[in-house]
Chain A
Amino acid sequence: MLEVLPQRQSQVLTNGEAAVPMACGKPSLAGSVSQRACVFCGSRVVLYPIADALHLVHGPIGCAAYTWDIRGSLSSGPQLHRLSFSTDLRETDIIYGGAAKLKKGLLELIEAYKPKAAFIYSTCIVGVIGDDVDAVCRQVSATTGIPVISVHSEGFKGTKKDGYRAACDAIFQLVGTATKAETDAISPYSVNILGDFNIAGEVWLIKDYFKRIGIEVVSCITGDGRVDEIRRAHAASLNLVQCSGSMTHLAQQLEEKYVTPFVRVSYFGIEDMAESLYTAVRFFNDDTLLQKTRDLVREEVTTIMPQLQAFRRALAGKRAAIYVGGAFKAFSLVKALRHLGMQTVLVGSQTGNPADYQHLQKLCDPGTVIVDDSNPLELAKFLLEKDADLLIGGVKERPIAYKLGIGFCDHNHERKIPLAGFQGMVNFAREVHASVMSPVWQFTPRRQKGAPV
C-alpha cells in the first residue's frame, strides 16, 4: 500500500491521534500530483459568473480553452461569461510583446459585445515577457468608458488562494462606483451575498428566502453577477460570506473602507442554511423579520423532512469521504452527511487554513482521516482503507472513486443540480442515494472478493 510522501506527512492526520496541528497553506509539492490548479484558476472561478462582463484571458490558448463554459453558474440574463476569449499569443508576441495585440483585441471585443466591464486575466508568461497590462487597461478604459480591470493571476505567483485574492481586488475596484442616486433606494435591511456562484441556480433559492423574510439583496458576488450590482455593493448593510476561502478578503476590504460588517454563512445542509438566515436576521434585530424567518424555516423543514427520512433509512451507516476546494464547504457537508445517518471517514480540502482544520478536527469523529492539498494516490489509499461508500468532490476526483467502485457526488462548479438551500438538501440526499444505492457496485472488485476482475 502506498506511503504518503515524506514531505507531505504533516498535511495528513488521523483525527484524535495527531499530536501537532495540521500543516497547510503550503505551495503544492512538485511531483505530488496535487488536485489544485493555479493562481489563474482561483481568479477565473471567482469572476467567471459575472455575466455582463467580458472575460479576456491574456496568454497562449490553453488557459482560456480549458475554462470555456465549464461551470454550472447560471445567469438570468446575459450569457457573455460563457464565451472564452483569449489573446492566443503566438511566438512573435512572445518575442515582441503582447500588449499591442491585447489592446487591439480588447477594443474590438468591447465594440462587438458591449460589456459593462472587462476583466483581463494575466497568465504565466505575461509577467515574464513584461507586458504592461495595467497600462493597456487604463488606456482602453479611457477610450471605451467602461471599467477595464487587470487581474493579476499569473499561474506561478502563489496558489489558487492568491488567485481568489486577485479576483477580490478586481471586484473591489468596481464596488462603490455607483452614484448616490443609484443607491438611495436601498433598504436598511439589505445584504450582499458573497461567495455563492449560482451553480444550477442556487443563489436564486437563497435570494427567494431573503425576499420572503424582507431582506433586500443588493448584489450577489458573483453568482448571476452584474457589474452594476457590484458597483452598488457598498450600500448594503451587511455582507454574508459563503466560500470564505475566496471571499473573506473582499469582505475585509469592504469592512475597512465602507464599515460594512460581515458574517460567515453556509447554505449547504439544513442546520447551516437555517443558521445562516438567523445570523443575517439577528444582525437587523427586528422581531418581525425574526418571526418571518422562523416561519420560513419551519415551513421549509416541514416540507423536506419526510422526503429526507426515506433517504436516511437507506443511507444510515454508510461511509463518506469529502475532498473539496474550500474547507468551509467541508464543514457543512460533514453535518449534512450526519443528517443522512452517514459517517465521514475522510475529509480534505485544497486550500484550508489552520483554523479550518482545527474546526474539522472538532467536528469529525475520532479516526477520520483529514488531508490538505491531497492527490489521487493518497485519496485512493484512504478511500480503500476506510472502505468508503461515497466520495464527494469535483470532476478530477470522480474517476478516482469510480475506478475503485465507489459512489460519487459532484459538489463542485460543474454540477447541474442545486445543492444549496433546503430544497438543495433533498437534491443532495437524492444524488447521494442514487449513487450509493445503485446495484452496479455488486460487480466491482471490492464488493466481489475473489471474483475475476
Chain B
Amino acid sequence: MTTITLPQPPPPASSPSPHSFTATRNACKLCAPLGASVVFRGIEGAVPFLHGSQGCATYIRRYVISHFKEPLDIGSSNFSEHSVIFGGSECLQTGLTNIVRQYTPSLIGVASTCLSETIGDNVPMILHEYRAKQPGGVPVISVSTPSYAGTHMDGFHAAVRALVDHFTQSSASITRQVAPPVVLLPGFVSPADLRHLKEILHDLGLLGIILPDYSETLDGPIWAQYERLPAGGTSIAALESMRHALSAIEFSRTLSPEKSAAQLLASRCDLQAVCLGLPIGIRETDAFFAALAQLTGAPLPTKYQLERGQLVDSYVDGHKYLFGQRVVLYGEEDLVVGLAAFCAEVGLVPVLCASGGRSGRLAAAIAAVAPALAGQSAVRDDVDFEEIGEFAATLQPDLLIGSSKGYTLARKLAIPLVRVGFPIHDRIGGQRILHLGYRGTQQLFDRIVNAVMEQRQTKSDVGYAYM
C-alpha cells in the first residue's frame, strides 16, 4: 500500500530555543589566527607567523593540512614563561630571524594570538625595532588577531585589511594606468573558486588583483624539492599597484564598514568600493557580473551566457526534487548568506541558517538576499554545533549543507550532508570544490539534487535504478 504524504508547512521560525549553555559545545567557528594564516599563505613568497605559543601554529597547521592536503609552514615565536613575564620581543625577533634564514621570504605576516594580546605585547613596536636593525630587510606585516575578539573570519578579514593598509600608505599621487586593475577581495573561498574568479576576470579583459590568492599555494602540483615558498599567490607588485585600482569588489554582506578592506581602499585611493555577496545562485552571480559589466561596459560574454542558460536549464530539470526540501545551512556567515540566496531560488527551504560568527548582520543579510524566506527560516548566529543539532532535531530537516563538521549531526538525523566550505576533513578534494559563479552553482545544484535522489533511492523498498 502506498501512503501519500502531502508536504507539511515548516513550523514557524520562532521555534523554542534549545536549552542554552554558558560553555560552547562543538564550536561552529575557529580562532582568528587561522584565518590570518590562510590569508598570508595567499601572498607570493610570504610566510605566516604566529606570535604566541608553539601550539597555536602547530594546531592550525594540522587543521588546515587536513583540509587542503598541502603543507602549510607557519612560524611561531614559541612563547616561554620567560617571554610571558618579560614580553615577547626577544622570541618574536629570534623567530623572524630564523624564518628569514630558512625560508628567505618576500614577506612575513605576523598574526598575534590570545596570549601575546593579553600580556600586552606591542607587535608593531617590536617590528619597528626589528626593522631598524636590518634596513632593507623583508617586509613584515602585523595584524591583531586575538581569538577572544572574533572568529577565524574576523582574523581573515583583519589580515586582508592589514595588507591593504600596508600597501596603500604611500603619499605619492595616484596615477591610473591605461588598464587600471580591479581589486577583488573574495573572502575565505576555495582554491577552485579563486581559479574560477581569475578566469572570469581574464575572460572579461580585466586586470584583476585577487587578495588573497592561495589557489596554487594551497592546491599545488607535486614537487621535486620541498618548496619553501610554493609558487603562486598575490604578488607584492600587484599589492603595490592596488592604489591605482579602478574599483574594489568585496564579497561580504556581513562585514562592517570599519572592518572592510574595500572601504579602506576606497577611502585611501579614490576608487569605488562594491560590496556584494558571495556569487552563489543566479541572482548573486548576476549581481557580480553586473558589477564587472559596469567596469568593462561590455555585455556578458557568450561563454557565461551559456553557463547561465545551462544552469537555469538544470534548475528546471531538477526542481521537483528540491521543492520544499528542508535544509539546515551552517558555517561562515557569508557562506550561509550565499547558500540561503541560492536555496530560495530553487525552492529549498533553509529552515535553519546558523553560524558561529557574530557580526550581528546575518539575519538582515539573509533577509536582503532571500526575502522569499521570511517567516520560513530561523537565523541563529553565535551558535555551536550542539545548539544547531538540538534545534535541527525539532525542525525535521531533509538535508544539511555545510562543512564536514556537520557529519555527526547528519549521521544522527540519518539525512545527507552536502559538503561545502571549510573544513572538509572526511573527504578528499575540499580545495577543489567550486561554489561560485554560474558554474559553481551548477556543481552545487547537481550535488544537492543527487544527494536527495540518492537518499530516496537508498530508502526505497524497490530500489529503482531509473530515477
Binary per-residue interface labels of chain B (12-26) against chain A in the complex, 1 for a CB within 8 Å, 0 otherwise: 000000010111111
Binary per-residue interface labels of chain A (39-81) against chain B in the complex, 1 for a CB within 8 Å, 0 otherwise: 1110000000000000010011111111111000000000000
Q: B31 near A: Cβ within 8 Å? A: yes
Bound together, the chains give a CA A124 to CA B84 distance in angstroms of: 10
Bound together, the chains give a CA A56 to CA B25 distance in angstroms of: 9
Residues of B within 8 A of A60 (CB): 31, 114, 146-148
Residues of A within 8 A of B96 (CB): 31
Shortest Cβ distance from residue B397 to the other chain A in the assembled complex, whole angstroms: 21
Binds A, one of B1-9, B173-181, B216-224, B284-292: B216-224
Bound together, the chains give a CA A50 to CA B222 distance in angstroms of: 40
**By the criterion CB–CB under 8 Å, are B118 and A62 in contact?**
no
**By the criterion CB–CB under 8 Å, are B224 and A156 in contact?**
no
Residues of A within 8 A of B55 (CB): 37-41, 63, 155
**By the criterion CB–CB under 8 Å, are B79 and A155 in contact?**
yes
Shortest Cβ distance from residue A47 to the other chain B in the assembled complex, whole angstroms: 16
**By the criterion CB–CB under 8 Å, are B226 and A109 in contact?**
no
Q: Which residue of A lies closest to B19 (CB)?
A: A112
Residues of A within 8 A of B187 (CB): none
Bound together, the chains give a CA A321 to CA B149 distance in angstroms of: 42
Shortest Cβ distance from residue A349 to the other chain B in the assembled complex, whole angstroms: 15
Q: A339 near B: Cβ within 8 Å? A: no
Bound together, the chains give a CA A61 to CA B99 distance in angstroms of: 27
Residues of B within 8 A of A415 (CB): none
**By the criterion CB–CB under 8 Å, are A61 and B225 in contact?**
no
Q: A259 near B: Cβ within 8 Å? A: no
Q: B171 near A: Cβ within 8 Å? A: no
Binary per-residue interface labels of chain A (1-25) against chain B in the complex, 1 for a CB within 8 Å, 0 otherwise: 0100101000000000000000000
Bound together, the chains give a CA A68 to CA B100 distance in angstroms of: 34
Q: A317 near B: Cβ within 8 Å? A: no
- Picked from B24, B71, B223, the residue with its CB within 8 Å of the CB of A86 is B24
Q: Number of A residues contacting the other chain (C-beta, 8 Å)?
A: 78
Known: A62-B31, A124-B114. A377 touches B53 (CB 8 A): no
Known: A38-B58, A157-B81. A91 touches B22 (CB 8 A): no
**By the criterion CB–CB under 8 Å, are B22 and A395 in contact?**
no
**By the criterion CB–CB under 8 Å, are A445 and B222 in contact?**
yes
Residues of A within 8 A of B79 (CB): 124, 155-156
Bound together, the chains give a CA A448 to CA B71 distance in angstroms of: 22
Interface core residue of A5, A65, A125, A395 (most chain B CB under 10 Å): A65
**By the criterion CB–CB under 8 Å, are A62 and B30 in contact?**
yes
**By the criterion CB–CB under 8 Å, are A34 and B58 in contact?**
yes
**By the criterion CB–CB under 8 Å, are A395 and B66 in contact?**
yes
**By the criterion CB–CB under 8 Å, are B23 and A34 in contact?**
no
Shortest Cβ distance from residue A449 to the other chain B in the assembled complex, whole angstroms: 9
Shortest Cβ distance from residue A369 to the other chain B in the assembled complex, whole angstroms: 15
Known: A31-B77, A38-B58. A62 touches B53 (CB 8 A): no
- Picked from A30, A65, A123, the residue with its CB within 8 Å of the CB of B27 is A65
Q: B91 near A: Cβ within 8 Å? A: yes
Binds B, one of A99-107, A137-145, A214-222: A99-107
- Picked from B31, B92, B113, B118, the residue with its CB within 8 Å of the CB of A94 is B118
**By the criterion CB–CB under 8 Å, are A105 and B21 in contact?**
yes
Bound together, the chains give a CA A83 to CA B25 distance in angstroms of: 7
Bound together, the chains give a CA A315 to CA B84 distance in angstroms of: 50
Residues of B within 8 A of A27 (CB): 78, 80
**By the criterion CB–CB under 8 Å, are B31 and A65 in contact?**
yes
Bound together, the chains give a CA A380 to CA B228 distance in angstroms of: 10
Residues of A within 8 A of B220 (CB): 403
Interface residues of B (CB under 8 A from A): 19, 21-27, 29-31, 33-34, 49, 52-63, 65-66, 69-71, 73-81, 83-84, 91-92, 94-99, 101-102, 113-115, 118-119, 146-149, 151, 220-228, 386, 405, 408
6 contacts between A and B (CB under 8 A): A30-B75, A30-B95, A38-B56, A86-B23, A156-B80, A156-B84
Q: 3 closest Cβ contacts across the A-B interface?
A: A38-B55, A31-B98, A62-B31
